Structure 1
Amino acid sequence: MKKILWLLLLFSAFIFTEKGTAAENLQAVINSAKDGSVIKLEDKIYAGNIVIDKPLTLMGTNETLIEGDGKGNVISVRAPGVTISDLKVSKGGMDRNSAEEYAAIKIYTDGNVLRNIGIDESFHGIYLSKAHNNTIENVRVKGLGKEEIAAQGNGLHVYYSNGNLLINNYVVGTRDGMFFDYANDNKVIGNEITKTRYGLHFMYSDRNEFKNNIFTFNTGGAAIMHSNQLKLKNNQFIFNYGHRSFGLMLLSANQNDIENNTFYMNQRGLYIDQSTDNLIKSNQIFQNQIGIELWASSNEQVFTENKIEENTIPAVTLGGSGRNDWSQEGTGNNWGTSFPLLDLDQNGVGDSPAIYKSSLYELIEDQELVYLFLKSPAIKVYEKMNQLMDNEKTMFEDQHPLTDSEKPNFYLSGLVIFAVIISAIIVKRRKLLCISFGRNGRKI
């Protein structure tokens, strides 16, 4: 009997302390491990708030979960050369008023690798704090959703951190998908961000490369503020919609290259304010309410080789007229069917400028709610009335608009057919006149 009672007590103690023992063992193993060790975790839950202070590899499985107590960082990396892979992390501190911004994984050092990690229920997903040359790959961060955006942090937060690679990550439902603050020379490639405030948010961050990323269903696709010499190429900004929404915003952003991106079904494709010397080239800007919104505080933008078509308003300039170029070295933009153009010499450039005039700039400047009604029939009536009263302003003038050279030029074809018919009529009438009056006009 005593043996049975002793076994029951031992079994009860084991069940009660299993989670705590796992946590103690994990931190103890980390503490006792040698530099460069590989720690393989099991298919179980480990208690978090662990600190990694030496170079090692922490490797889990699809069923490994490191769970915090909701009061701090679940994992703190305080040594360089750490690799964390193939596990889930949950329940980081959510206190917005703490001295430190908590995260599921917070990195304070250089040269670390985070790969194949799932994160939820944390203020920030991954936070790089003065950490350089790290790789963040295939990390999935799930936030609390749009109803709780103000109560949480960002999916991937990069603070005073340079030379990092963020590749093939997925972020949904956080405040900002990726936030860069005083972070330079980073590469952001192949990430997908959805249902956030800003998919990407740059502040005082220069020379970053941003390629092959996808932004959908955010309030704003990407907000580039006080940041210079960025390269944004081959990204997709699709259906970023709401009050004052945009695909891409440039605010006090200079000398940036924006090439081969797609802006589709946004409230505003591009929004440019207080920015100078940006190159906007070879982008697809279509079916947005406003293709390009350009404030007069922005100068020396160059728009060239863009396809800008089927937008409710192709482009609007607000606050006056800035000094911007709508073509470069004789190459303008393709405006689709918005401006039917002749190209008699078939060189791919229209024979006349593409000029767009509108009166809507006054409404937009005075009343922000106009954005919500740009597709209303009343707006079209308003534009028509101002057109009749000659109360419009030139929004842009593209001196060298492009035509679809690969498509048949129906206007030219029609003109040629018309000319042939007229020539045939003239020749026939001339022949009849010659028969009736002779070549000198006398009747014979």
Structure 2
Amino acid sequence: MKKLTLISLVFSLFLFMKPEKNMAAENLQAIIDSMKEGAVLRLEDKTYEGNIVINKSMTILGSSNTVIKGDGTGNVISIKAPKVKLSHLIVTNSSMDRNSAEEYAGIKIYTNNNVVENLKIRYSFHGIYLSQAHHNIIRNNNIKGMGKGEIAAQGNGLHIYYANDNLLEHNTIDGARDGMFFDYANNNKSYENNISNTRYGLHYMYSDENIFKKNTFTMNTGGAAIMNSNHLKLEDNQFIVNYGNQSFGLMLLQANDNYIAGNTFYMNQRGLYIDQATRNTIKNNHIVQNQIGIELWASSNDQTFTLNHISENTIPAVTLGGTGEHNSWSKHGKGNDWGRTFPLTDLNQDGIGDFPVTYRSSLYQLIEDQELTYLFLKSPAISIYEKINATLKDEDTMFKDPRPLAAAKGKPHTILFFALGVLVVLILLKGRQRLCITFGRNGRKI
């Protein structure tokens, strides 16, 4: 009798304990809830069910084939505790509802001092969303959207909302709506991110004192759109082949006191577009082979252009909406290097041209009146139009560089060579035929 009772007790325990163990093995949320603060959870190479909420400080480590798949109704992973670390996961299938009060993401972070690294994010509205989350590290992640054809139906790669003092580095974003979107986000640092095939590689609103360094923006409709933001530093970034209707490498709109230095603007429709902006310093940039090197609206005052290399653009610089007399094309006696566009003499060999460079044009009126003008800037008809207007009436001054730099001889521009290398990679990855259709040979549209 005692033996039978013992067997019954063991069997009962098995019934109660075994299902719980199986459930924990399959239910990632149950595993997380069962762990202690600060624990390390190592996941296997298999697919786990989302959506999960991490409400304690912990580390979750996956490997090459560890997938966390959401149910398509919310965030795949919500981080609601500080000091969480996620690494080596594939995160997929968040809600794609763009009409929801909450904007869903593959990873949504609501807390501080977290690390999210080495993740792949697919089939999610936003990739990684920081919501009032500070001092986080987001690095080495690969975020892929649905491509430019689905821009209206998807969110951004990295969305930074009321989030300060975060580090965003070495992330790759392709095919999202905007690569990185900043909204009321200050003192963040973005280093060496690669963004392509988006609407805006960087979209930026009401955010101050951020640093962007050594990022690459290629094949976007717009490279970086900086709006209503001040005291930014954009240094050593690459804005290459950002091309489309009213496109640009970098736009400054109502953006003030920003420092734009050491960047490369290569083969964009417009290298820099500046409107209603004041006191920006544009220094030591390479602005080469764009349709318009610099488009400067007269609503913008007190810009300083110095030590830039501006050459081989169809139009080097154009001022629209007025004369734009309150901008400076030199500083401390040093202007800009205009390359072969404006040949100089330098008889005393001091590195400064003997005469100012003045560019006059009538194209500003055509560009202001006809939006489609951008599509024909490389046409031979444009040069004919300029010559006819030059003989019939006085052309307006677009800019005057009082101290132009004599082109340095025998010193290769290593940054430009790097840009050309990136372009070669794009040809290999995106297809030679597509680029040739857009730009033709030697940058000419065919």
After TM superposition, the score normalised by the length of structure 1 is 0.87
Contact 1:224 1:251 in 2 (8 A): yes
Q: Tell me the distance in 2 between the aligned counterparts of 1:136 and 1:153.
A: 18
- Residue matched to 2:320: 318
Could you say which residue in structure 2 is the equivalent of 1:83? 85
Cα distance per residue 1:360-380 (max 9 Å; x no partner): 000000011000000011111
Give the Å deviation of 1:19.
Answer: 10
CA distance in 2, matches of 1:234, 1:406: 23
Q: Report the Cα offset of residue 32 of structure 1.
A: 1.4
- Is 1:36 paired with 2:38? yes
Question: What secondary structure sits across from 2:389 in the alignment?
Answer: helix
Match of 2:270 among 268, 271, 287: 268
CA–CA distance in structure 1, aligned partners of residues 229 and 304 of structure 2: 18
Aligned partner of residue 243 in structure 1, secondary structure: coil
Q: Following the alignment from structure 2 to structure 1, what is the Cα–Cα distance between the partners of residues 149 and 128?
A: 21
* Aligned equivalent of 2:131: 129
State whether residues 317 and 399 of structure 2, in contact with CA within 8 Å, keep that contact through their aligned partners in structure 1: yes
Give 1:401 shift: 0.1
What is the Cα-based RMSD across aligned positions, in Å?
A: 1.4
Counterpart AA for 1:78:
K
- 1:406 maps to 409
Question: What displacement does 1:18 show?
Answer: 12
Deviation at 1:21, TM superposition (A): 6.1
Name stretches of at least 5 consecutive residues in structure 2 with no aligned partner.
Answer: 1-19, 412-446
Q: 2:74 aligns with which of 65, 72, 75?
A: 72
2:291 aligned residue: 289
Measured against aligned partners, the alpha-carbon deviations of 1:304-360 in whole angstroms (never above 9, x if no partner) come to 000000000000000002210000010000000111111000000000000000000
In 1: Cα distance, 2:33 partner to 2:400 partner:
67
Q: Is the 8 A contact 2:24 2:30 kept in 1?
A: no
Corresponding position of 2:101: 99
On the 8 A contact 1:19/1:46 being kept in 2, the answer is no
Displacement after TM superposition at 1:405 (Å): 3.8
Q: Residue 250 of structure 2 is aligned with which of 221, 230, 248? A: 248
What CA deviation, in whole Å up to 9, does each residue of 1:220-260 have, x standing for no partner? 00000000000000000000000100000000000000000
Alpha-carbon offset, residue 390 of structure 1? 3.3
Match of 2:396 in 1: 393
Change (3 A) 1:23 1:294: farther
Partner letter of residue 124 of structure 2?
Answer: S
Paired with 2:31 and 2:40, the residues of 1 have a C-alpha distance of 10
Task: Kindly indicate whether the alpha-carbon contact (under 8 Å) linking 1:216 and 1:240 is maintained by their aligned counterparts in 2.
Answer: yes
C-alpha contact (below 8 Å) 1:19/1:47 kept by paired residues? no
Other-structure match for 1:379:
382
Per-residue deviation, 1:43: 0.4
Distance 1:307 1:331 in 2: 12
Q: What is the percentage of aligned positions where both structures have the same residue? A: 65
Q: Counterpart in 1 of 2:419?
A: none
**Which secondary structure does the structure 1 equivalent of 2:141 belong to?**
strand
Report SS of the residue matched to 2:372.
helix
> 1:140 matched to which residue of 2?
142
Cα distance change, pair 18–55 in 1 and its aligned pair in 2 (3 A)? closer
Partner of 1:237: 239
Match of 1:316, SS state, is strand
User: Which residue in 2 is equivalent to 1:14?
Assistant: none
Question: CA shift at 1:403, angstroms?
Answer: 0.5
Distance in 2, matches of 1:314 and 1:19, equals: 68
Aligned residues: 391
Of the candidates 159, 162, 165, which is equivalent to residue 161 of structure 2?
Answer: 159
Asked whether the 8 Å contact 2:24–2:31 carries over to 1, the reply is no
Q: Are the counterparts in 2 of residues 19 and 45 from structure 1 also a CA contact under 8 Å? A: no
Alignment-derived partner of residue 3 in structure 2 = none
**Of the candidates 343, 346, 350, which is equivalent to residue 347 of structure 1?**
350
Gaps of 5+ in 1: 1-16, 409-444
Distance, in Å, in 2 between the alignment partners of 1:241 and 1:404 is 28
- CA pair 405-44 structure 1, distance change in 2 beyond 3 A: closer
Contact kept? 2:62, 2:89, Cα under 8 Å? yes
Query: How far apart in 2 are the matches of 1:251 and 1:371?
Result: 19
Please give the alpha-carbon distance, in whole angstroms, between the structure 1 residues aligned to 2:308 and 2:392: 32
Instruction: Give distance in 1, aligned partners of 2:66 and 2:110.
Output: 24
Cα deviation for residue 391 of structure 1 reads 3.1
Pair 107,269 (structure 1): closer, same or farther in 2 beyond 3 Å: same
Structure 1, residues 275-312: CA drift from partner, whole Å, max 9, x if none? 00000000000000000000000000000000000000
Q: Which amino acid aligns with 1:374?
A: L
Which residue matches 2:49?
Answer: 47
Q: Is the 8 A contact 1:306 1:333 kept in 2?
A: yes
- One-letter amino acid of the structure 2 residue matched with residue 385 of structure 1: I
Amino acid at match of 1:129: S
**Structure 1 pair 227–113 and aligned structure 2 pair: CA distance change class (3 A):** same
Tell me, in whole angstroms, the C-alpha distance in 2 between the residues paired with 1:301 and 1:20.
64
Residue type of the alignment partner of 2:371: E
Distance (whole Å) between structure 2 residues aligned to residue 213 and residue 189 of structure 1: 6
Mapping 1:325-340, distance limit 5 Å: 325-340=328-343
Q: Give, as a single letter, the amino acid of the residue that structure 2 aligns with 1:124.
A: H
Q: Within the alignment, does 1:357 sit opposite 2:360 as a pair?
A: yes
Q: Aligned to 1:381, what secondary structure does the other structure show?
A: helix
Map of 1:421 onto structure 2: none
1:393-423, Cα deviation, whole Å (9 max, x unpaired): 1000000000124359xxxxxxxxxxxxxxx
CA distance in structure 2 between the aligned counterparts of 1:76 and 1:103, rounded to whole angstroms: 9
State how far apart, in whole Å, the 1-side matches of 2:353 and 2:268 are.
28
How far, CA to CA, are the matches of 1:164 and 1:397 in structure 2? 41
**Counterpart-to-counterpart distance in 2, 1:247 and 1:359:** 24
Name the counterpart of 1:418. Answer: none
Relative to the length of structure 2, the TM-score reads: 0.86
Aligned position for 2:178? 176
In structure 1, the residue matched to 2:431 is none
- What CA distance in whole angstroms lies between the structure 2 residues aligned with 1:338 and 1:142? 40
Query: Which stretches of structure 1, 4 residues or more, deviate above 4 A after TM superposition?
Result: 17-23
Deviation at 1:29, TM superposition (A): 1.6
Mapped contact 1:200–1:221 kept (Cα < 8 A): yes
1:40-98, Cα deviation, whole Å (9 max, x unpaired): 00000000110000000000001000000111000000000000000100000100111
Quote the Cα distance in structure 2 between the aligned partners of 1:72 and 1:176. 20
- Alignment correspondent of 1:190: 192
Structure 2 counterpart of 1:271, one-letter code = Y
